[in-house]
Structure 1
């Protein structure tokens, strides 16, 4: 155990749990439970050596950290990229900075999507077709429906404002035509 604790700073999460980098979620969970049973601090309460207890606690924390990162598909993907790069030694632990990078990447990916709800995306797509065919009032209705599924979607709100502007412009054009 002491030799394993000494190498702790050189092991990545896969090595720590004794897994291949292609391990399935079930294998990750199984390896975590195996390691956590072996190194759980409660098993070592009777030890007199505080230094050894601290090592066991550190090892257990690292095993738990490994499971926390590897069980999450997004974090595991980022972690695999990090440990495969030239800065491997600095990226062996998934830090708060890694966490914020992962969240920023996920947020960017979500923003690049048209929407998160399938029905919202469907209504948005129909609204786009309505706008292209010159029917802004139908687009407006579809965008309002899309917003019922995703009320905070900025893209839908912008498109709705544009459709409302086109509807207003069209009605002004129609009324000025009738007056003449």
Structure 2
């Protein structure tokens, strides 16, 4: 076995070679794209195999001017198409609704025709129908519109009927106007009773009386005056107090006499 050679006494041992330090390559800065733009500072390198995260940047939204914001938000407090004058009119009408008759509710004269009443109802419906205001925020405005439209509908229901309108005009022009402004169930019953009475006065209450009267009318239309007179007298046996039967009998008898006189004069001339 061979032994390593020993350095001679007094000799200086050799030095190890110096270590070379590991230096990371410098990352050059990125030149600015234009004047006034600062270069990106170099940062530490990300470990190998990782993806650097990209910072999120919130979009810059310019503020909306107050005037534009007001215009962009539709107003729902006054309802569609109601101007200041209409709102004032609505408030005035609702404040005295219990004092208005149906003609005043529809803003009509008491001589209005059925066509006028129909047009007025459609006019009010186009303006104040509650379905047009279902998105309105004001509860008070909604209640006013509902109250007015209910009365408008009620007015149209009564005034479009000839018999009801006739009785209603009598009621609201009489001394009990304040109690007759609304058409109630009692008013309905009174109207039906009045219509029945009028029909009875025109035709009769007894079935046999009505039968003979109607036959007399047909005879008179055909110019058969003798038959008409005979049937009217039969009708009066069932209803002797019927003024309409008596009046019609007098008319038939006069017509029969005039016709006989005309025929007699024609016969003498010949």
After superposition, give the CA deviation of every residue in 1:85-136 in whole Å (9 maximum; x if it has no partner).
Answer: 1111111111111110000111122222326xx987432665871696xxxx
Higher helix share: 1
Decide which structure has the larger Cα Rg and report it.
2
Distance 1:120 1:27, change over 3 A: farther
| Aligned residues between the structures | 135
Structure 2 unaligned blocks of 5 or more: 1-89, 205-209, 218-226, 240-270
Higher relative contact order (CA 8 A, sep 6+): 1
Q: 1:169: which partner in 2?
A: none
Q: CA deviation at 1:44?
A: 1.1
Structure 1 unaligned blocks of 5 or more: 133-138, 144-154, 157-180
Distance 1:130 1:12, change over 3 A: closer
Off by >3 Å, runs of 4+ in structure 1: 118-122, 124-128
Q: 1:97: which partner in 2?
A: 186
TM-score (norm 1): 0.65
Is residue 122 of structure 1 aligned with residue 122 of structure 2?
no
Distance 1:130 1:44, change over 3 A: closer
Which of 1, 7, 10 pairs up with 2:99? Answer: 10
TM-score (norm 2): 0.44
Q: 2:154: which partner in 1?
A: 65
Q: CA deviation at 1:43?
A: 1.1
Instruction: Check conservation: 2:125, 2:149, Cα contact below 8 A.
Output: yes
After superposition, give the CA deviation of every residue in 1:42-62 in whole Å (9 maximum; x if it has no partner).
Answer: 111112233332221121110
Instruction: Check conservation: 2:108, 2:117, Cα contact below 8 A.
Output: yes
Q: 2:169: which partner in 1?
A: 80
RMSD (CA atoms):
2.9
Distance 1:124 1:86, change over 3 A: same
